[in-house]
Structure 1
Amino acid sequence: MGLEGPDAFARAFSGAWLARDVAGLTGLFTEDADFLTLTGEWAEGRQAIARTVTGEMKGAFARARLVTGRAKLRPLGKDMAVVHQRFVLSGVLNPDGTDAGRIATILMAVLLRDRTGWQAVSAQFTVEEG
């Protein structure tokens, strides 16, 4: 089921992430969506997204928290939009188990609206350089 508006995507993503709600997070994507994750994994399709996110939530991001930063919504007609959302990520574990500190990240998603609402067809969650 899609979201009521594209402006709800980042908030829903963050809420699902914090709750470790993989089903809720993957429900934000279309069945055939692409998702490039923070670890560089390219998951193609909702099932692959679920598998990838499940693995990441059990690994480096098991304790990770997101704090919302600046957001930008760019409508592209009445049924498409691009969302950019900055987050500060904390609680990430390095491979040796130590804390990686605070990490600036950006979530970018291309959203489409259909009869069920708004969902991401493509998204990238990446570390912000600089």
Structure 2
Amino acid sequence: MSLADPADFPRAFANAFSARDLGAVGRLFTPDADFVSLTGAWAEGREAVEEVLAAELAGTLARVKLVTGRTRLRAVAPGVAQVLQRFVLSGLSHPDGSDAGRVGVILAALLREGAEGWLAVSAQFSPEG
């Protein structure tokens, strides 16, 4: 999956994440990207991004779905863009298995345009607030 526009990153991330397609998520990142996950894990490199998300989606985030909200895109320099994306995350559960309701989260990503299209060189997925 090659992104021709950095504005396509949030939806591509949400679709791959919700489908549990870790390969598709990984292909949104450069091979040497940094990623900080919702649980605070720091992944260094595309493969590590996939591994961290695989562990989270098998555990804490097993039933989670993302719904896209507000997006802010900013050109930083030629071929470099910042994307801030608000998501509503549903499907979280408390330790006892009960529904934890919906939570606002923000994905902040720095993207670079290259031969493979627009890819994240750095991203952080954080609870809102």
Q: TM-score range by the shorter chain?
A: over 0.9
Does 1:74 pair with 2:74? yes
Question: In 1, Cα distance between the equivalents of 2:76 and 2:11?
Answer: 20
**Contact 1:35 1:124 (C-alpha < 8 Å) held by counterparts:** yes
What is the aligned partner in structure 1 of residue 92 from structure 2? 92
How big is each residue's C-alpha offset from its partner over 1:27-60, in whole Å with a ceiling of 9 and x where there is no partner?
Answer: 1000000000000000111111111000111111
- TM-score of the superposition, structure 2-length normalised? 0.95
SS of 2:87's partner is strand
* Letter aligned with residue 53 of structure 1: L
Question: In 1, Cα distance between the equivalents of 2:30 and 2:9?
Answer: 13
What is the aligned partner in structure 2 of residue 19 from structure 1? 19
Question: In 1, Cα distance between the equivalents of 2:32 and 2:96?
Answer: 35
In the TM superposition, 1:40-51 aligns within 5 A as 40-51=40-51
In the TM superposition, what is the alpha-carbon distance from 1:98 to its structure 2 partner? 2.5
Identity %: 52
Structure 1: any 5+ residue segments left out of the alignment? none
In the TM superposition, what is the alpha-carbon distance from 1:94 to its structure 2 partner? 2.7
**Contact 1:60 1:94 (C-alpha < 8 Å) held by counterparts:** no
What's the C-alpha RMSD, in Å, of the aligned pairs? 1.1
- TM-score of the superposition, structure 1-length normalised? 0.95
In the TM superposition, what is the alpha-carbon distance from 1:105 to its structure 2 partner? 0.5
For this pair of structures, how many residues does the alignment match? Answer: 129
**Contact 1:20 1:57 (C-alpha < 8 Å) held by counterparts:** yes
In the TM superposition, what is the alpha-carbon distance from 1:61 to its structure 2 partner? 1.1
In the TM superposition, what is the alpha-carbon distance from 1:92 to its structure 2 partner? 1.1
SS of 2:35's partner is strand
Does 1:63 pair with 2:63? yes
What is the aligned partner in structure 2 of residue 83 from structure 1? 83
In the TM superposition, what is the alpha-carbon distance from 1:67 to its structure 2 partner? 1.1
